[in-house]
Structure 1
């Protein structure tokens, strides 16, 4: 192989590596996804045990970034096995028919130092809505740390059907919180 071909090949490999270097690997041991809501006016935060987060992020070009989150709805841990079974039922998440809630970004924009505005589609229980929320990002020990809170209305996604539509027992307001550590 002549020198020019070798240089071209090395350059192409370098470009391919640089393009793939923006895909970050999530550290599940240090990351969390949770839902906070009020039951009888008492705040409750419950974590999802199973989820995947795919982030393609470049701090120099946040507009080119992408994110996808998939959460297994039956993995919400309410701290009690019976409650966990209840929220997986048809009236709540209907996890048998809709095993995953998903978020897919359509735009990520810089909103100042360490801040991003994320837009995309959130799908829960077969219902998809367009959402926008703020996100913070910082570097800690060579890793990217993303923190955000997304307020939603549970009834917009049919979470809590039948007698559970009554918001005096379980409030309509829910905040999905996430802390994602990736490298």
Structure 2
């Protein structure tokens, strides 16, 4: 009867736990943007996004991060304005519903600070971006925060009459707070 003891089961369970990938907690996360319209700051955010993460803070260079954002989930807090954002002049969600960030390199800078270099794709336009990221851990959750700037016209955001940067400025500040579970300790 001693031969029926399942020796392989505990061995199989251990690698699955060790290989568990970090997971985004969307309800505790936010991706926001700020731009200026006629000199006045306008704040918005995306309500729907997801991330695929393969990242160990102690081996950042081996990591990969992919973020996908549903452009149709953008909101400025006003239904009429939000209805404009989905149109071809702005995000053109019928043609290109998703924006993505795909890391090409991750670098540890020390003290919980990292740098993510990658490709940002919006409306079919691909640009290289460098994103500073700070990680903090508490209670089993890792919070990744950071901010970076883009030029909206680089991504054809605001076409036609909206190319005029005296009305809507070209600079857009992107800020994020991503809550992640299952990440290795810093």
Higher mean alpha-carbon deviation, 63-72 vs 158-167, is at 63-72
Structure 2 unpaired stretches of 5+: 182-186
Partner of 2:104: 106
CA distance in 2, matches of 1:51, 1:98: 15
Structure 1 unpaired stretches of 5+: none
SS in 1 for 2:17: helix
Per-residue CA deviation, residues 78-125 of structure 1 (Å, 9 max, x unaligned), is 111110111111111111101001111111110111100101111000
CA distance in 2, matches of 1:31, 1:118: 18
What is the TM-score with the length of structure 2 in the denominator?
A: 0.89
Q: How many residues align?
A: 179
Shift in Å, 1:19:
2.3
Shift in Å, 1:172:
0.3
* 1:134-149 equivalence runs, <5 A: 134-149=132-147
Shift in Å, 1:55:
2.0
- What is the aligned counterpart of 2:87 among 86, 89, 111? 89
Per-residue CA deviation, residues 39-90 of structure 1 (Å, 9 max, x unaligned), is 1111111011111122222122122222111111111111111101111111
Partner of 1:54: 52
Partner of 2:76: 78
Cα pair 2:63 2:106 within 8 Å, conserved: yes
Partner of 2:35: 37
CA distance in 1, matches of 2:18, 2:62: 14
Higher mean alpha-carbon deviation, 54-63 vs 74-83, is at 54-63
Higher mean alpha-carbon deviation, 52-61 vs 155-164, is at 52-61
1:19 aligns with 2:15: no
What is the TM-score with the length of structure 1 in the denominator?
A: 0.90
